[in-house]
A and B are shown apart, each in its own frame.
Chain A
Amino acid sequence: MPNIDISLSATTSDGTTLVDGGNVTAADSFSIVISITAEAGFNTLNISGDVASSAINRNDLELASGTTDAEVTLTVSTSNSLGDGSIDFEAVDEEGNTATASFSFVVVSPAAKIQTAVMLYAPLGDSSSQTFYSIANNQTYSLGDVISTSDPVSASIDFGYYYGSSDNAALASPAEYTIYDLSAWEITKCNDFSCHNHHKC
C-alpha cells in the first residue's frame, strides 16, 4: 500500500508556536499548516471538528494529478466560548488511502487590560491641570485640552477628579462634574461607579 502521511504545525496570531493541546485566546485566531505527503498522489483533505467542515481537493490547490506533496494553511477564528476544542484532518490519496491527524486546543480568556499610575490632578482656575481621564485612550486631559481641540475628545472622557470641601477626594462622571462648566463639551458621558469595599457612595 502506498504511503500517506499528514503532519501539523500551528502558530498563534502573534506568530508564536502553538503546541497540540495549547492555549489560544478567545476571540482571536490561530493558524494550522497541514502538510501531506502521498506516494500515490494527493487527492483531498477533509476538515472537521470545531470548525466548519470542509474538503479541499488538489484542484482547489491547483495541483497536477500525481502531485505527492501538498500543504494547506487553515486559519481558525476562536469564539468567545472558553474550553476545549479540536480539529480533525483526513488526507486522501488518489487510490483512496487515508491518513488522519487531530489538533487540540483550549480557548482561554485573554488577560485583563491593566492601566497603572493614572494620576489625575484637582482642577485649577486656568484649566491646565490634567483632571480628566479616558479609559479607552488611557490618557489624561485638562479642561483646556478638551475644549481647545476640534477632535471629539469629550466623547472619550470617562471621569474627572476633584477635591471638595465636603466631598473630599472624588471622581465624577462628566455629566455630574460640577467644578468646571462643561457645557462647551460636545458630549458629557454619564458613567456609573459603585463602591466595592466601603459605604461612602
Chain B
Amino acid sequence: MVTVSDLETALAGVDVTDANGTVTNLSVNDILMFKTVDNVQGLIHVSAITGTDGSDGMIELEMKLAASE
C-alpha cells in the first residue's frame, strides 16, 4: 500500500524548478509529478496513448495523490 507519507517523501526529492503548465511528447509509461494551485501533489503514470484526434485519440492515466481517500 502506498501511503500519503510515502508519496510526500518521494515528491520532496523531485526537482521542480523546470516544472511548467504543459508537458508534451508524452509516451506510455512516462511518470509525471504534478502540483496544483490547490496544493494537491501526486504522480501521473501514462498507461496508454492511442490515436490523434477526438474520434479515436485518447490518453489513459493512473494517478497517485498525496491525499487520503
Mark interface residues in A172-196 (1 if CB within 8 Å of B CB, else 0): 1101100000000000011111111
State the interface size on chain A (CB cutoff 8 A).
Answer: 53
**Chain A residues numbered 120-158 whose CB sits less than 8 Å from any CB in chain B:** 120-124, 128-129, 131, 133, 135-136, 158
Chain A, residue nearest B32 (CB): A193
Whether B37 sits at the interface, judged by CB under 8 Å, is yes
Chain A min CB distance to B24 (Å): 4
The answer to whether B32 and A196 have CB atoms under 8 Å apart is yes
CA distance A42 to B49 in the complex (A): 69
Chain A min CB distance to B12 (Å): 13
Chain B, residue nearest A115 (CB): B63
The answer to whether A110 and B53 have CB atoms under 8 Å apart is no
The answer to whether B65 and A112 have CB atoms under 8 Å apart is yes
Q: Which of the residues A27, A115, A124 comes within 8 Å of B53, measured between beta carbons?
A: A124
Chain A min CB distance to B52 (Å): 5
Chain B residues within 8 Å of A, Cβ to Cβ: 1-7, 14-16, 18-27, 30-38, 40, 42-44, 46-47, 49, 51-55, 57-69
Q: Can you give 8 contacting A-B residue pairs, CB < 8 Å?
A: A112-B67, A113-B67, A116-B63, A168-B25, A194-B19, A194-B32, A196-B33, A197-B31
Chain A residues within 8 Å of B, Cβ to Cβ: 25, 27, 82, 108-124, 128-129, 131, 133, 135-136, 158-159, 161, 163-164, 166-173, 175-176, 189-198, 200-201
Give the 10 A-B CB pairs with smallest separation, nearest first. Answer: A124-B54, A109-B5, A122-B57, A173-B21, A110-B68, A129-B54, A194-B19, A109-B3, A167-B24, A176-B21
